[in-house]
A and B are shown apart, each in its own frame.
Chain A
C-alpha cells in the first residue's frame, strides 16, 4: 500500500506549522523525515495515520492491503505507550482482542512476533521491569502483531541511550531484510536516517516545507556506522539542516 500526501498545510492557531507538503510513501521502503525541532514532522506523521486532520490538503492511501492486515496504519511511539498494568503478552493481545482474535490464534501471533523481536523470554514481564530498549521492542512487536501496511514511527529510538539505539537499529534492519515493510520514520537523528532510510525527506523549519529528498541506494544490511558513503550523505544532510536548525533554535516559542 502507498500513502500520498497531497499539498498538506496546517496551522495551530496563528502558527503555520506545515505549508504545502506533497509526498509519496512507496510500498516496501522506509522513508525518513528529518528536520529541526518544531518543524511539524510529528504532526505530519499524525496526519498520515489519521490521528489528526490537516487544515488543507489531502492524505490518501492507494493499493491493496497485505494479507491478514488488521490495522493498516500502525504507530510506534517515542515513549513506547505500553499499558503499565499489562505484561508483555497482555500488551500485544490488547491490539488483537478488538479484532476478535483470542486463544490459540492470538497465542500463535504473539509467539511469532515475540520471536521476531527476541522477546520470548520476557513474555510475562511488566513494563516497569523492562529497560527502555526492551520496552520499545515490545512496542515494535505489538505493531508487527497487527501486520500493518505502513508503520508510522515517531522518533522510536529518541528515548534510548546510544548503545541501545545501535542495537535496535540493527534489529530493525534485520526485521526489514527478512520481510520488507513500508515505514515512515520521523527522527531528528541524521545517523538513524542514513542507516534506515531508503529515502530521506528534509523539512525546513516552521512552517515546514520539503527542502530536499535524498535517496540512498545502498541496501540496508550493508550499511554500517562509519561507512564513507553514508558519512557523506550525513554530512550533506547536516549542511542542509544546519541553518534551519540554527534559525529554529533562535525562534521565540509562542505556542
Chain B
C-alpha cells in the first residue's frame, strides 16, 4: 500500500450505460438522412426509378393531392373510420378488461375467449362483417373495433392485475366502498398499463383501416394506395404510405402527451 516504488494507475471505470437517455432530434436526423440518400441515389442513377420513387416526386404528388382537394376526400373518411372504430373497440375493451380484472368468474369465462379471438387475422372476417353490418361503413367500423378491442382487453386486465395490492388493502382497511376502491385506486393505478396498451391497439387500428379500405372502399387512404399500387404508380403509393406513417406518429404523440399530463405522478 505504502510501497513508494509501486506504480499508481487509476481504477478502471466499469460502470455506466444500460440506461436509456432522451436525445432529441436524432430520430429526425436519421429520417432526413435516409430521404437524402434516396434523393441522391435516384438523381445520380444508382437507384433506378423502378426500385424507389424519387422523394421530391413523392412530395410533388402529395402537393397535387392537396391542391386538387383529393387529400381530404381520402383522409376524412379514413380518419372517421379510424376514430369511430377505435373509440368503440377501446371503450368496450377497457370496460371488459376492468371487469375481467375485478371478477374471477368473468375472468375464467372470458380470458379463453379473448385468447381465441386475439390471433385471428381480423381481416379474414371482413366478408362475415359485410354480411352482418353491411358493405359500407358498418363493416369497417366493426373490423377496426374488433381489432383494437382484443389488445386493449389484454392490456387492461394485465394493468388491473398489476395494481399494487397494498393500496387496495389500504382502501379496505379505511372502510372505502367497493366502488370507491375501483374508481380511486384501481382505475388510476391501471392507467399507465392501459395507455401503453393503447399505443399497440391504435397501431393495429391503422393497419386494419387500410386493409378494410383495400378490400372495399371508394375513398380512403387504403383505396388510394391500392389504386396506385395496381397502376404501379410508385409516387402515389409512397405518398399514401407517408400519410399512414404520419398518422402513426401522430397517434403515438397524442398518447405520449396524455401520458405526460395524466401520469405526472410517476417517478
Q: How far is the CA of A128 from the CA of B266 in the complex (A)?
A: 7
The contact string, 1 if C-beta is below 8 Å from chain B, for chain A 114-137, is: 000000000000111000000000
Total cross-chain contacts (CB, 8 A): 51
**Known contacts A74-B174, A75-B173, A94 near B166 by CB under 8 Å:** no
Nearest residue (CB) in A for B185 is: A83
The contact string, 1 if C-beta is below 8 Å from chain B, for chain A 90-102, is: 0000110110000
Q: How far is the CA of A86 from the CA of B170 in the complex (A)?
A: 14
The contact string, 1 if C-beta is below 8 Å from chain A, for chain B 159-203, is: 000001011011011111100100011001100000000000000
The answer to whether B184 touches A83 (Cβ under 8 A) is yes
Interface residues of A in 139-196 (CB under 8 A from B): 142, 146
**Known contacts A83-B184, A126-B265, A51 near B167 by CB under 8 Å:** no
Q: How far is the CA of A70 from the CA of B170 in the complex (A)?
A: 15
* Distance of A248 from chain B, by nearest CB (Å): 24
B267: chain A residues at CB < 8 Å are: 128
Q: How far is the CA of A94 from the CA of B181 in the complex (A)?
A: 10
The answer to whether B173 touches A51 (Cβ under 8 A) is yes
For chain B, which range describes its interface: under 10, 10 to 19, 20 to 34, or 35 or more residues?
10 to 19
* Distance of B263 from chain A, by nearest CB (Å): 8
Q: Name the contact of B169 in the complex, choosing from A51, A74, A95, A127 (C-beta under 8 A).
A: A51
Q: Name the contact of A146 in the complex, choosing from B169, B174, B188, B266 (C-beta under 8 A).
A: B174
The answer to whether B175 touches A71 (Cβ under 8 A) is yes
Number of A residues whose C-beta is below 8 Å from B?
23
Q: Name the contact of A97 in the complex, choosing from B166, B169, B172, B180 (C-beta under 8 A).
A: B180
**Known contacts A95-B174, A97-B180, A98-B176, A81 near B265 by CB under 8 Å:** no
Nearest residue (CB) in B for A97 is: B180
* Distance of B171 from chain A, by nearest CB (Å): 8
A146: chain B residues at CB < 8 Å are: 174
Nearest residue (CB) in A for B264 is: A126
Q: How far is the CA of A212 from the CA of B185 in the complex (A)?
A: 40
The answer to whether A95 touches B184 (Cβ under 8 A) is no
Q: How far is the CA of A251 from the CA of B175 in the complex (A)?
A: 37
The answer to whether B175 touches A98 (Cβ under 8 A) is yes
Q: Is A219 an interface residue (CB 8 A)?
A: no
B175: chain A residues at CB < 8 Å are: 70-71, 98
Q: Is A57 an interface residue (CB 8 A)?
A: no
Q: Is A66 an interface residue (CB 8 A)?
A: no
The answer to whether B173 touches A83 (Cβ under 8 A) is no
The answer to whether A128 touches B265 (Cβ under 8 A) is yes
* Distance of A194 from chain B, by nearest CB (Å): 27
Interface residues of A in 52-76 (CB under 8 A from B): 70-71, 73-75
**Known contacts A74-B173, A98-B177, A85 near B265 by CB under 8 Å:** yes
Q: How far is the CA of A79 from the CA of B164 in the complex (A)?
A: 11
The answer to whether B169 touches A81 (Cβ under 8 A) is yes
The answer to whether A81 touches B177 (Cβ under 8 A) is no
A127: chain B residues at CB < 8 Å are: 265
Q: Could you list which residues of chain B lie within 8 angstroms of chain A, going by C-beta atoms?
A: 164, 166-167, 169-170, 172-177, 180, 184-185, 188-189, 265-267
What are 8 A-B interface contacts by the 8 Å CB criterion?
A70-B175, A71-B173, A71-B175, A83-B167, A95-B176, A97-B180, A98-B180, A128-B266
